[in-house]
Amino acid sequence: MTALVLDIITTAAILFAVASGLLIILGVLKIVNFAHGGFLTIGGYSGLVVTQLGWNAWLAYPVAAVAGILLGAVIERFIIRPLYDRPLDAILATWGLGIIIGQLITIVFGREIQFVQAPITGATTVIGETYSLYRLFLIAAAAMVAGGIAALMNATRLGLEARAVIMNEQLARGLGINSGHVRFVTFCIGAGLASLAGALITPLSSVDPNMGVPWLVNAFMLVLVSSVSLVSLATAALTLGGAQVLVSTFISPVIGGLTIVVLAALLLRIRPAGFGNG
């Protein structure tokens, strides 16, 4: 029982961390970044590089974040900006980018599955159950990500401007906010978060050039169901993630993989605002 509860919480934490970057990009830029899977992969391979170079495994996280931010900057400038008023095309273009990233990684690193050194290994006992220490660490990591984003949004000038742009870009510009700049910075942060999330999840399994794809779809559905609110995202991650764990455990893991997608699609049909406030 404890293991189940911990599974649900850790799964929710992982989903939250993975989806957070997608959420802030959707909120501020109003586009869906389908290269998100590619950024996750980059994060994973950053971890691989750190492992192969023999560096301290903790460095994987900052390296991943920086890699994501830099790549995000280039992509925003040359691909996203021209597609400002063509959101459906932005989905396609970012999907194409995801493919490009995947292929480049394959060329550089090869197709095989490889493994990354985790900074924390082993297990610990929680309420009579032995549980992976790393998974528990991920709960803390997700909480830090959430805290970081919340602090950014609520306590900084940039965050205030970003919230203004999310609510009403026209009015924001009329008050002197350079919305183009806000979009740029937000995309970089979102890409950095995605990459960081990739580094966070790799020690759970492995890296391969297509590791990001399954996460992309789930993250995508969660974000849509959250209607641009961090709190809603956490709620969605907990509810839908929990459902996934339950279905995987009691019915079948294969069907479990579908839970989030199917439930989210149905929820959106009934209530287009999902868990958010409409």
Partner 1 sequence: MADLTTIPETLTRQTSSGRLVPAGSIAGLCIAATIAGPYLLDAYTVNILVRSFLYAAAALTVDVLWGYTGILTFGQAAFFGIGAYAAGITFTYMDFSPQTAVLALVAGLVASAVVAGITGWISFFHGASPLYAAIVTLALPIIFVQVLYSGGTFTGSSSGLVGYNTFDLSVEAWFTICGIGLVLLTTATWFFVNSDFGRVLVAIRENEQRCTYLGINAPRVKILLMVVMAMIASVAGYAYAGYTVVVAPEIGSFVFGTELVMWVALGGRGTLIGPVLGTIAIDVTSAYLSGNLPYVWKLIIGSIFVLVIVVLPQGIVPVLKSGLRRLWSAATGRDAVPGVAVPALSEAPEARRAGAGSDAAALAVADLARSYGSLKVLEGVTFKALGSELLGIIGPNGAGKTTLMRCLSDGYERTGGTVAMFGRMIARTPPQGVVGFGIGRSFQTTSLFETLTVAECLRLARYRLNKTRMLSHAPTLALPASARHVITATGIDRQLAIECRHLSHGMKRALELAMVLALEPSVLLLDEPTAGLTKSERTLIGSILVDLVQREGLCTLIIEHDLDFVREISTRIIVLHQGKILLDGSVAEVVGSELVRTIYAGAAQQRPAP
Partner 2 sequence: MSSTVLEIAGLNSGYGEAVVLRDVSLSIRPGEIFALLGKNGMGKSTLLKTVLGFLPAIRGKITLFGEDVTSLPTHLIARKAIAYTPQEQTLFQDLTVEDNLRLGLRDDRGFTEGLARVSEYFPIVGKRLSQKAGTLSGGEQKMLIVSRALLGSPRLMLIDEISEGLQPSMIQRLTEILLAERKRTGTAIFVVEQNVPFAFSIADRYAVLKIGEIADDGVAGDELAAVRVQDQLRV
Q: Which spans of this chain sit near partner 1 (rule: CB under 8 A)?
A: 32, 78-79, 82-83, 86-89, 91-93, 95-97, 99-100, 103-104, 106-107, 217, 220-221, 224, 252, 254-255, 257-258, 261-262, 265, 268-269, 272
**Smallest distance, partner 1 to C-beta of residue 270, A:** 11
Cβ–Cβ < 8 Å for 27, 161: no
Binding residue for partner 2 (CB under 8 A) from 22, 116, 172, 185? 172
Angle between helices 157-167 and 2-29 (to 10 degrees): 80
Site stretch for partner 2 (CB under 8 A), options 21-29, 120-128, 161-169, 208-216: 161-169
Q: Is 278 in the site for partner 2 (CB under 8 A)?
A: no
CA distance 81 to 89: 12
Half-sphere exposure of 202 (CA within 13 A, CB side): 37
Binding residue for partner 2 (CB under 8 A) from 5, 160, 213, 273? 160
Half-sphere exposure of 66 (CA within 13 A, CB side): 7
Q: Is 65 in the site for partner 2 (CB under 8 A)?
A: no
Cβ–Cβ < 8 Å for 30, 153: no
Partner from partner 2, partner 1, none binding residue 179, C-beta < 5-8 Å depending on class: partner 2
Question: Closer to partner 2 at the Cβ: 7 or 161?
Answer: 161
Q: State the Cα torsion 243-246-247-248 to the nearest 10°.
A: 120
Cβ–Cβ < 8 Å for 123, 133: yes
Partner from partner 1, partner 2, none binding residue 268, C-beta < 5-8 Å depending on class: partner 1
Q: Which of 215, 228, 249 is nearest to 29 (CA)?
A: 228
Write out the residues near partner 2 by the rule CB under 8 A.
157, 160-161, 163-164, 167-168, 170-179
